[in-house]
């Protein structure tokens, strides 16, 4: 099973979060479980080509 790291926090009763690889794309929900489901859906949209011009974070080897 594939995994993806995400950042999340709670603010004013809502859960907010984004995928580390795609920090420009924030989502929110009323529960942590719902936030995780929204992040799964967002990941699918971002990696399927459904959203044009997606910016992502990558790592570069300098050695």
- Does the residue 30 lie in any domain? yes
What's the confidence (pLDDT) of residue 53? 94
Identify the domain containing residue 17 by its residue range. Answer: 6-48
For the chain, 63 residues long, give each residue's pLDDT as a single digit of tens: 899 999 999 999 999 999 999 999 999 999 999 999 999 999 999 999 989 999 999 999 998
Q: Report pTM.
A: 0.89
HEC states along the chain?
A: CCCCCEEEEEECCEEEEEECCEEEEEEEECCHHHHHHHHHHHHHHHHHCCCCCCCCCCCCCCC
Domain for residue 13, yes or no? yes
Number of domains in the chain: 1
Q: Looking at the domain assignment, is residue 63 inside a domain?
A: no
């Amino acid at each position: 099973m594939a995994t993806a790291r995400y950042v999340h926090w709670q603010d004013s009763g809502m859960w907010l979060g984004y995928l580390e690889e795609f920090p420009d794309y924030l989502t929110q929900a009323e529960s942590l479980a719902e936030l995780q489901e929204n992040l799964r859906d967002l990941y699918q949209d971002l990696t399927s080509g459904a959203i044009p011009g997606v910016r992502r974070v990558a790592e570069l080897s300098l050695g």
